[in-house]
Each structure stands twice: as structure tokens, then as C-alpha cells.
Structure 1
Amino acid sequence: MLKKKWLRTAAAGIVICLFWSFLFSLGSGGTLNMIEKPLRDMVRVQTDAERQPFSEIKIIKIDNESLAQLGQFPWDRSLYAQLITMLADAGAKAIFLDIVLAEPGSDPAGDAMMAEVMEKYPNIVLPVVFNFKSRQDQPEEMETDSIDYPASTIGAADSQIGHINVMQDKDNIVRMLTLGALDKKGEMVPAVSVKLANYLLDQEQQIRWNESDGKWYRGDKQIPANSRNQVATEFYTKPREEMSLETGYDTRSFFELLSGEVPADFYMNDIVLIGPYAPGLQDEYLTPQNTTLKMYGVEIHANMVQSLAAGKFFTDTGKPVNYAIILLLTFLSLLLFERFRGGKTFIAYGILAVIFILTWIELYQLFSLFITFTYAFLAMTTAFVWSVVNHYVTERKERSRVTNIFGRFVPRTVVDEMLASGEEVTVGGQRRDISVVFVDIRGFTPMSEKLEPEQVIQVLNEYLDICTKAVFQWNGTLDKFIGDGVMAIFGAPVTLPNHPELAVRAALEMKRQSAELEERCLREIGVPVRFGVGVNSGPAVVGNIGSEALRLDYTAIGDTVNLAARLEANAKPGQILISEETLARVGDLFDTVSIGEIKVKGKEHPVLVTEVIGEAAVKARS
């Protein structure tokens, strides 16, 4: 039996591993990566101290003020040439113009000025735009449809161009920096951020593409780029953070510099990025820093430059390692969950989940390493669900034990319900909401004095038979016989939502069935035998009480039981007394008469008592 159990568990583990590993192997993981990427964003959030922008990186913005002063786009290219000349002559280390100049300008003189500037200053970088196919043949490929180079009239050299493609994930958030893209000739065109970062790096730390092995390097250290030449970029500023110069890149207006309000030598030995910084120019993207406020493209390039210069890259473990993690976590979960039952399984799952989450976070914090989270976590969760279901099925197979224990106490219908519910019956007490019925013969002592012992036993057995059948008919549990009295429970061991109603109906059934017995006793012995019944509802401790080795008594204990007994003691012959709590639950199902408040033993204050006369008359339908 034990061997079969572990074989079943092993088979479940194999199926779970294969299922989640298969989903993990499908390209980028589909919608599940839409869960994992935001989680990684949360872990990668940096403090203000950690994300201090480099002071050598500065932004000149083409903002609303500049547009108001210099006119709407497109500007004459002589303006760019004039500003670039001012910056280059002032000693700027590198200048990037984030304006696509793919077509000749309307004024040839402007293009000629730009061509002179490009020839004179080799540290100027202009953008190239790759137009990728909207539908890639392979999910990991980046096939090019066309490429927009600077116009030939500008005369930019190959060393003065870099692509500016900002790739968005499926949730429209920019997380990855594309280090380079292959042109039609198969030549690698680096990103402008690569070009600019190299101006900040020493010669031995230069970022380069190694064509022989198809890898990117920063110095002699390989950059962990994916198959699309992409690496996750850090963000050191939040969108529009130029409003707070204490934490953002230094950002000045194009017109401020052109007009001389800001001196050009302010940018000596700096990397300068010039680009659109106004909503109408349509160069805005969402970033992990803020998923509602967009960041301008020139800001994103500035962050990418610093990310490359700082060399802070995380490594995404390969598929073999992630497959092993899914396998390990699945079988570890199954072995752990098989050792626990019930609520302990949930606790074990919670502890294991917390350990995994903390491990996932610490691997990044300490080693800049990301393992798969979504698939491994879902594999663990699937193992947990399977274990819970397996425990449930196993316990249902053991339900015959419930029948053996309670078959002597409850009617067959109640036993069937217990089997169907799969509830586990335990030794000891459980707090349950129940209804308790106490029944006692009125006039039993005078009758015993007039009859022979054999006759007394005969009458008592008939009376107890009536009570037992009524209790069983309405799915109650016969707790015990107390001399000439009976105690019954409704709502335990099987939960019955309407147990107060069932208890009252059982009491009425006793009253109806006892009429014949009462008449016969009056006729034969001259002493009427009538019942007094008390019913109360509420919480009580219900369970097996006694010696586990020798004898157990399934019963209920508590104030609810005591009050039911007190009501029965106060009931007159033929009366069914119910408590205020029971009355509130049965509503208008029965005809009742208020007895008022009576003082009962064990209660500090009087209790409100009601007599049940019979079932309520059915209301006519409107």
C-alpha cells in the first residue's frame, strides 16, 4: 500500500514537471511572462542613492519653450549644426542628436552645414532606425524589413551612426536594450547607447561585438545578451525627473543654449543627448519606473548609456537550469505535502512559497541572477493542489470507519450523508452549532407505582421507540437514554443547516405518535402518559468523550445543552418549549405561543420561552 502511494506521487510529479516545462519551452512563455516581468521590475527597483545619475550625461531638450521660440517642427538643420558646433567647440566628449534625418532637408544649405559639422567633429552620433518585420518567422529573431539611415546629403560616417530602436515588451513597457542589429549586409550596427557609453569607458572596458563567437563583450567580460542581442537596462531616473535636478539628469532647453543663456562650456567633457522633450513630438514610452507616465526617448537613451557604462547586468539562467528548478521544486513540494494533512498542508505550502520567493529575490540581490519564478511557482502550486485532492480522495476511501463508529448512534440516512460529505470524525470534541432536544415522560413515577415492573418496561420501550423513530426520521442523532428521558442532537456529527427546524419537527412527530400510547395507558391503567419536550439551539462541544481504549460516548456538552434540559424540566405534559434562539431560527414555520420569561436553574437572568403548537398554516398564494 505504501509503495503504491509513493508510485502514484512520483507519477504525479513527473506529469507536473513535464506540463510546466513544456509551457516554459514555448518561446517567450506567452502570457505567463506578463506576470514574471512586472515581478522582476519590483525586485529591481533601486533606492535614490543606488540610482544616482552620472553627472557626465546631460540632456538638451527640444521642449515647448524651444518650439515656441524657434517654430514648430521640422526645424531647419542649420539650427542643429549651430548648436552641435557650439558644444563640440566647448569640448563636449560626444554629442548625440536624437532626430531622424533620413530624407534631405528642404534647405540644401542646412544639409550642407550638417555635413560640414559631421566631417569636422567625429564625436557626433546620428540615429539609424531599423524597421523590423511585423511578423517574425521565429520568435527569437529580429528580421529587418528596411533601414532608415541619415540622408546622404548629411554625410555621416559609419562610425557616427547607431540605431535608436527602443523595443517594447508585450505590455508596452521598455525593459530591454538592443545592443545591436544586423543590417542587410550582415554587418552589426551598434545602438547609440553603445557608441556613447564607449566615450565614458577606458579602452580596456570598451563594449564590442565579437563576430567570431556572436557575443557582446564589455572589455573581456561577456555581456549576458539574449539571442536578439538584448540585455536588460537599468533605469536611474524616473520620467520627467529633470524637474528635480537633485536626482535626474541635468536637462536644459535647446533654446537656452542656442540663445547663450546657458554657456556651451557647461558641457565640457560631457556626453550630450539632444532630443524631443514635448508630448506632441510622439517620442514617449512606458518604463518599469512608472507604468502610467511615459519617459521621453532621449531620457531612455541616457539611462541606457549609463547602464552600459556602469556594467550592471543581470544573468538570466538558461533553460536547462530552469528545468532543473521546476523538477526540484515539484518533487520537494510533493514530498513535503505528503507528510502533512489538513490545515498543516496549507501552512507547509505557505512556508515553502515564502522561502522560494525570498531565495528568488536574494539570488538577484546578491548575484544579479534571475531564475524562473512563474513556472516554478506554478509547478509548486500544482503539486500542492494535487496533494490536497489526493488527501481528500484517500480519506473518502476510509469512510467505512465513520460508519462503524456512528452506525450505532445515528440513523442510516445520517450515515449516508456522512459518507457523501467525506468529513473526518475525530476522537475528542469539536465546537459545533447544533440543536438539542430533551424529552421526558410526565407522570412516569405514579405509573410505575401502579404497574408491574414488566408493564413499566413495556410502556417505557414503546415510548422510547416513538422518540427514537421521530429523531431518526428527521435526521437527528440519538445521544442517550436517561432513565425515562431522551436526549437527541441535530446538526452533528453531520452539519445540517436547518437543524433547528428538524429538531422542532421531530418534537412534533413525538407528540403526534404518542397520542395513541397516551390513550391506551389512560384506558388500561388510568394514568395518562404524556411527553414534555425542550428544544434549544446554539454552540456546543460535540465529540467522543470517555475512554478511547474501552468506551466512548458521542455526546454534546455546553450551555446550549443545559438550557434545553431546563426547558424540558419546565414543560408541562404535552408541551414543546423552545428557546428564544431556536424561535429566531425557525421563523414562521410553526404556530407558537409565547410563554414569557421564566427563571431557570443555572441562568442569572430569566429566559424567554415559547411553546410550539404545531406547523404553521400554509399561506394562500396571491
Structure 2
Amino acid sequence: MKRNLVRIVLGLLFGVVLLVHAAKVVQIPLLNTLDAFIYDARLRLTAEGGVDDRVVIIDLDERSLAEVGRWPWSRNTMAALVDRLFDEYGIAVLGFDVVFAEPDNSSGLRSLDALAGGELRGDPAFKSAVGRLRDSLDYDRQFAESLRGHANVLGYYFSNADDARKSGVLPAPALPADAFAGRPIAFTHWNGFGANLAEFQKSAGAAGHFNPLIDFDGVSRRVPMLVEHNGQYYESLSLAVVRSLLGKPPIWPGFPEDGPSAGGDYGGLEWLDLPTAKGALRIPVDENVAALIPFRGRQGSFPYLSAVDALRGRLSPDQLRGRVVLIGTTAPGLMDLRSTPVGNTYPGVEIHANLVAGMLDGALSQKPPYAIGVDTVLVAVTALLLSLLLPILSPLRASLLAFAVLAGVTTLNVMLWSSGVVLPLAAQIVLILSLYALNMSWGYFVESRSKRQFTELFGQYVPPELVDEMARDPERYSMEGKKEELTVLFSDVRGFTSISEGLDSKDLALLMNEYLGAMTQIVQKNRGTLDKYIGDAIMAFWGAPVADPEHARRAVLTALEMQKALRSLDAPFQARGWPVLHIGVGINTGSMTVGDMGSIVRKSYTVMGDAVNLGSRLEGITKQYGVGIIVSETTRAQFDGAVYRELDRVRVKGKDEPVAIFEPLGLVGDVDATVVDMLSRWTQALDDYRRQDWDAAGVQLEFLVRQSPECSLYRLYVDRIARYRLEPPGAAWDGVTTFETK
């Protein structure tokens, strides 16, 4: 854990940064952009598609403007359009995505009144004519009369101009000023407005604003259902249209059960209810009391009918009867095109059509105020989980964990989206990918550097898998000298001097490379540390730098495999005219000093001490006993998985204490039964020899020699017994053989 502390701290710090973003304390623009991209992509992928003919758009399109004239049309023309829509086509509700903010003077009535009060003031006939024509020339009054008594909704807009300009007359507020007293609700505030003339507002059935909210990237994704102006609350055009269609039910603000009214601290407004005979129609809203626009698809998700066709009576009544009709424009010159998730030039009137249809279906997605809290909790849990676990896992397991967490949060988000709840996702995705990238990069750049350092230090001594193991916890390993119980192995080629004299330098180099290469592979396969090559000799040890409680076992296995591998070289060596090699191997286990030793000119990671010297001496006396491997009694005691033949008790040069030496014949279970039987006879012969019962020992040895005439060990003891018959060693003899040379 200590070596991973830096990664853990970095991961937690990055998590805190994203936590601050998720909690809306500080915003990171890149994450907002990514969240918007994810939202738009999901919206397009899951859009219902098709055409919903419950809402029809009467389009003030280019053809209508070309045939009737430029906008605004005269109010008598608009009156005729309204009358025809209700009286002839039988529409249910009419909504205007346009504003009638100025009087219509196109009839000339204003000029006639000026003449009647001026130059023609004394002309009774003129005044009488003006009086008779007034009704037919007062287009505004005609339009107001057409609105009266019909289910229609005028549109208007709010603005935040510097001069707080106000024109026209606002409708009555949708909710009283004290409806949200004491509740911290982030309503959208505007200080100015452009509304309809008082005459029209008085005659209209309702009115609603058509301001969408423009997000940071210029895209319209939401429309505030209620906005605040001068302490009053006004509804949107789409909400007013739906209310008109439902008989103008009141608006009931919806608060969660644990709000202030229930004694809690949370006062967020999460929905608006419209009570109807069939139950409340619920409209979910976000922290700004805005509804997400439920886009059905690209432009054309609702029928578009040319306004001039409706005006001239060219439409079939079936196209409009009982429908909600919105009057708006797609003409570029009228500047009502907006950037949306489903199109960069999307008619504003179709935004309201989507909202009306979504409200009627109860299909508005919800981004409740508590979404901030949910996102914050998910980011916190994800940051804690990955920051603590990724640094301690292997690359494969870290990848699987990161993928699982990513899949988990994404699946949860998609499931909530499918149920109509919208939660942010960008912070969680960026957090997971960033922590994963941090840990993988750390592993590649930092830990690989550590591995390279270990490779430089230990790579020439220990096998690659041990270097990898050491690099995972570098604090545990160093090259400083220390005392350890280890097992050392020495091997040497028999008769190397004569071999080298019989080969040219090129063949000798090739022979040694192949021999040393094969032996080194066996050492490293058994997790041994290659100390050095001494000419044709090999020195290796086990138990350092990586601790290994089975160091004695691995050394013995290495010696057995070396002898076996050596015989596999016989045929290829003879085919090339090279001699067959024989080696002696000595192994000892004991306390040794291990570390980086040498001078400032050259150092070597090696072992030193009496136990090392004994291992070297044991290798040297293998030829005396005619065996390939000799291990000490300490090595045999630590590994009993082999079948051993005791060779002798010896006192080597430089060491006063005698030591029992053994030859490993093979692993338990691998040694033939006849060898085991011969071993029993040999053990008896050795016991008789040490008791100076030369006759009994001789009988056993004669049998062994007949069975194995090639065994030098048996002949060695036959010769010793013959010598001791002539020169008895005496009663004080301890059975130990002393060697005065190395």
C-alpha cells in the first residue's frame, strides 16, 4: 500500500475535482460540453420518430408570404384565418408563436380619422362615411373579436435588455406572488417583455411566453414552464395551450414529501400538476422549473400546413378537426429558427409542438433537482473505489474492474433514462477513464522504470519473472549486504583443460556458449540467482534477492536437471566432433552474506562465507567419489523429496567440523526399485565400514561391485578397506575422511 500511496492520493485528488464539479460548486466547461453531447446523442438515438398529427403547425412559410404579402399580415387577414380555423376546420385550440405588439394601420382608418378632425372637419358627409366604414376598417377590433370566445393562446416573449424595455400587456399571472414563499427555487428571471396589445390580450383566452432556455453551447434543450417577473409567475406557451385544451385547470406545484412542509430542509420544485377528471397530468421540471423538450425527431415530426392554404380554405377539414394548432414560421427571414439537439436550424414553433405532445402523453423526461446529489454521490463512490483498488491490482484485473464500473454506471444511467430520469454522466465517465489511464500510465512509465532499474541491477543474475516480482514491491529489495540462510550451487566441467587443448578457439567458444546457455536456463527456470561464470564453472544461489523458503529443494532439482540436460547435449556435440562433457555439482545450505560486493571499479551481487566455501569444496570432491552431485547434510535436511545415497562424512580443507555428504539419485517416486534395493545394501556396507567390520562391509561391497562394476564409489571403498586391513585406523577413528586440498 505504501508504494501505491502516490497513485491513491492523485486519484482521490482528481476525484475531489470532479466532485466539486458534480456538486455545482465550480463548473468545468469540458465536462458540461461532454454531458451535453451525451444528452443529445441519447436523445437522437431514443427519439420516438414518426409524425404526430394531434398537433398541427400552420406555417407562415415562404409561399404564404409570397402569396399574401410580407409579415406582419393585416389584422383582418389574421381574423379571417382565425375564424376559418375554428368555424370551418373545427380546431380544438389555437396557439400563436408570434406577437401582436403594434396597432395595424394598414386599413387607412387612422388617416381618415385625421382628415375628419382636420381639413374635412366641417364635411358631414365625410364624417358619416367614416362612421359607416369604421367597423370594416378597424382591423385590430376585427382580430380581437375573432379571438373572443375561442380557445386560443397568444404568445409573447421576455427579455433582459439593458433598458428593461416593456411593450404590450402581460396576461394575468399563472400563480400568485406568494405561491413559492420561503422556498429556494431558481426561477428564470427577466426584466423586460414584448407582449400583445391590451385589446388582444383582453379578448384572448390565455397567453404564454415562448422563450426557450439557451444552454452554454447555444442549443435549446429546455423551456421554463414558469418564469418570474416582478414577483409574479408566468407560464409558457406550451403549458398554456395544454391547459386551454384541458379546460384551464389550475397549476399545482409539486414538492417532494420530505420538503419544508414535512419538516425537512429540501424545498425543490420537482413537478407541476394539472388536475383533470381523469387524474392529475404531471409535468416534471428541473431546478430552473424548466421542462426538457421531448423531441420526437428532426424537423417534420408534426404536420406542417401552409398558412395561405388554411386562409384560402384549400385544406381538408379532416386535417385540422379537433387538433391543437400552432401558428408559427419556418421562413428564414422571420428569424424563428433555433439550434437544437436534433437540428441546427429548427423551427421554434415545433419546439412548442413537441412540448404540447409530450405533456399530453405524460412523456416528459425528468431532470430533478436531486440529480445533482445523485451525481455527486456516484462520483464520490466511484473515486473512492477506483482510487483504492486500481493501484493494487494487476493490469488485467484493473482493466476488468474499470470496465465493470464503467459498464455499471452507464447501465444505471441508461436504465434511468429509459424510465424518464435524466442524470449527468460525463463526470463519472471522465473519472473512470482518467483513473484507469493514470494507473496504466503509472504502471507503464513509473513502474516500468522501476522494472528497468531492477533489470539493470538484478537482470543479469535473476530470471525475468523474479525481476517482475521484485518490481511490484521495490522497497523490499536492495543490494545491501545482509546475512541470510541460502543454498549455493557450484558446478564444474571435468577435465576442462584437456578439452580446451583439443579444440580450436572458435569451437571452444561455441561449445561453452551452448553448454553454459543450457545450464543457465535450468538455473533461471528454477528461480535461481546466477552469481557468475568462472571459466567453465557456474556459481548460483537460491533465496535471494527474492526470499524463497524452498531454496534447498530448487537447488537440488536444478542439479538433477543439469545432469539430465547434459546428456541431451551428447549427440549434437559428438556430431560436431566435440567431446562429451561431464560435470560435478556441489550444493550446500547455510548462513551466508549476500549483497553487492566489490570495489568502485566493479561490483557483483554475490554470496560469501563458510557455507559458500563448503559448497565449492563439495563440488571439488565429486570426482573423488565418482559422482555427479554432492549435497551437504543441511541441504538434505531441508529437502527430503529426493532419494539420497550417503557418500561419507568428510572434513574439507579450511573446515574443522566434519559434515555428512550425500548424492541425490532422483526424486522420491522416480527412482527404480532395484536402485532402492542396492541403496539398502550400500547403507549396510557403510555402517559396517564405520564399525571397522571390514569383512561384513567387504561382502556387501563385492555384491555391489558385481552388480555395478562401473560405479567408482564402490571401488573407492573396496580400496579403502584393503588399505585399512593393512593399516587399521585404530579405536579412536571417527570414520571421517579429511581432505587437505581444495
Q: 1:265 to 1:113 in 2, by over 3 A?
A: farther
What is the distance in 2 between the residues matched to 1:27 and 1:455?
79
Q: Identify which range, 211-220 or 309-318, moves more after superposition.
A: 211-220
The within-5 A match list for 1:23-172 is: 23-24=21-22, 25-26=24-25, 29-45=28-44, 50-90=48-88, 91-107=90-106, 109-118=138-147, 120-132=148-160, 142-156=188-202, 160-172=206-218
Structure 2 length normalisation: TM-score? 0.51
Aligned residues: 447
Q: 1:44 to 1:453 in 2, by over 3 A?
A: same
Q: Which residue of 2 aligns with 1:481?
A: 513
Matched letter for residue 116 of structure 1: E
What is the distance in 1 between the residues matched to 2:290 and 2:163?
19
What is the distance in 1 between the residues matched to 2:143 and 2:248?
29
Q: 1:26 to 1:122 in 2, by over 3 A?
A: farther
Q: Which residue of 2 aligns with 1:385?
A: 437
Report the 3-state secondary structure (helix = DSSP H, G, I; strand = E; otherwise coil) of the residue aligned with 2:214.
coil
**Are 1:369 and 2:414 an aligned pair?**
no
What is the distance in 2 between the residues matched to 1:194 and 1:355?
37
Shift of 1:84: 0.5
Q: Which residue of 1 aligns with 2:291?
A: 231
* Sequence identity (%): 20
Matched letter for residue 35 of structure 2: E
Q: Deviations over 1:433-466 (max 9, x none)?
A: xxxxxxxxxxxxxxxxxx9949949996x999xx
What is the distance in 2 between the residues matched to 1:224 and 1:171?
24
**Are 1:321 and 2:320 an aligned pair?**
no
Q: 1:394 to 1:80 in 2, by over 3 A?
A: same
Q: 1:144 to 1:199 in 2, by over 3 A?
A: closer
RMSD over aligned Cα atoms = 4.9
Q: Which residue of 1 aligns with 2:222?
A: 176
Task: Report if the CA contact (8 A) 1:87-1:264 is conserved.
Answer: no
Task: Report if the CA contact (8 A) 2:93-2:245 is conserved.
Answer: no
Q: Which residue of 1 aligns with 2:258?
A: none
Q: Which residue of 2 aligns with 1:268?
A: 321
Report the 3-state secondary structure (helix = DSSP H, G, I; strand = E; otherwise coil) of the residue aligned with 1:189.
strand
Matched letter for residue 284 of structure 1: L
What is the distance in 1 between the residues matched to 2:214 and 2:519?
73
What is the distance in 1 between the residues matched to 2:351 and 2:73?
23
What is the distance in 1 between the residues matched to 2:452 and 2:427?
36
**Are 1:218 and 2:273 an aligned pair?**
yes
What is the distance in 2 between the residues matched to 1:21 and 1:485?
57
Q: 1:133 to 1:333 in 2, by over 3 A?
A: farther
Matched letter for residue 355 of structure 2: M
What is the distance in 2 between the residues matched to 1:452 and 1:395?
44
Report the 3-state secondary structure (helix = DSSP H, G, I; strand = E; otherwise coil) of the residue aligned with 1:481.
helix
What is the distance in 1 between the residues matched to 2:208 and 2:11?
50
Report the 3-state secondary structure (helix = DSSP H, G, I; strand = E; otherwise coil) of the residue aligned with 1:33.
helix
What is the distance in 1 between the residues matched to 2:386 and 2:45?
33
Shift of 1:271: 1.2
Report the 3-state secondary structure (helix = DSSP H, G, I; strand = E; otherwise coil) of the residue aligned with 1:59.
strand
The within-5 A match list for 1:462-473 is: none
Q: Deviations over 1:290-322 (max 9, x none)?
A: 3x4x22122221111112222223333432222
Q: Deviations over 1:377-404 (max 9, x none)?
A: 2222232234335545456556665356
Match of 1:305 among 356, 373, 390: 356
Shift of 1:82: 0.9
Shift of 1:97: 2.2
Shift of 1:226: 2.6
Q: Which residue of 2 aligns with 1:281?
A: 334
What is the distance in 2 between the residues matched to 1:221 and 1:258?
34
The within-5 A match list for 1:574-593 is: none
Shift of 1:193: 0.2
What is the distance in 2 between the residues matched to 1:209 and 1:454?
102
Shift of 1:51: 4.3
Q: Deviations over 1:184-234 (max 9, x none)?
A: 3x2111111001112344777x65557997845123576442332212110
Q: Which residue of 2 aligns with 1:354?
A: 407
What is the distance in 2 between the residues matched to 1:479 and 1:32?
66
Q: Which residue of 1 aligns with 2:233?
A: 188
Q: Deviations over 1:225-282 (max 9, x none)?
A: 233221211012421x2xxxxxx42322111122121256753322111111222222
Report the 3-state secondary structure (helix = DSSP H, G, I; strand = E; otherwise coil) of the residue aligned with 1:315.
coil
What is the distance in 1 between the residues matched to 2:199 and 2:405?
64
Q: 1:483 to 1:217 in 2, by over 3 A?
A: closer
What is the distance in 2 between the residues matched to 1:338 and 1:7?
9
What is the distance in 2 between the residues matched to 1:333 and 1:224?
34
What is the distance in 2 between the residues matched to 1:485 and 1:372?
60
Q: 1:338 to 1:256 in 2, by over 3 A?
A: same
Matched letter for residue 151 of structure 2: N
Q: Which residue of 1 aligns with 2:15?
A: 17
Match of 2:243 among 198, 207, 211: 198
Q: Identify which range, 340-349 or 109-118, moves more after superposition.
A: 340-349
Matched letter for residue 170 of structure 1: F
Shift of 1:135: 13
What is the distance in 2 between the residues matched to 1:16 and 1:341?
21
Report the 3-state secondary structure (helix = DSSP H, G, I; strand = E; otherwise coil) of the residue aligned with 2:378.
helix
Task: Report if the CA contact (8 A) 2:296-2:354 is conserved.
Answer: yes
Task: Report if the CA contact (8 A) 1:177-1:231 is conserved.
Answer: yes
Q: 1:374 to 1:131 in 2, by over 3 A?
A: same
Task: Report if the CA contact (8 A) 1:173-1:288 is conserved.
Answer: yes
What is the distance in 1 between the residues matched to 2:511 and 2:229?
88
**Are 1:256 and 2:309 an aligned pair?**
yes
Q: 1:485 to 1:331 in 2, by over 3 A?
A: closer
Task: Report if the CA contact (8 A) 2:144-2:204 is conserved.
Answer: no
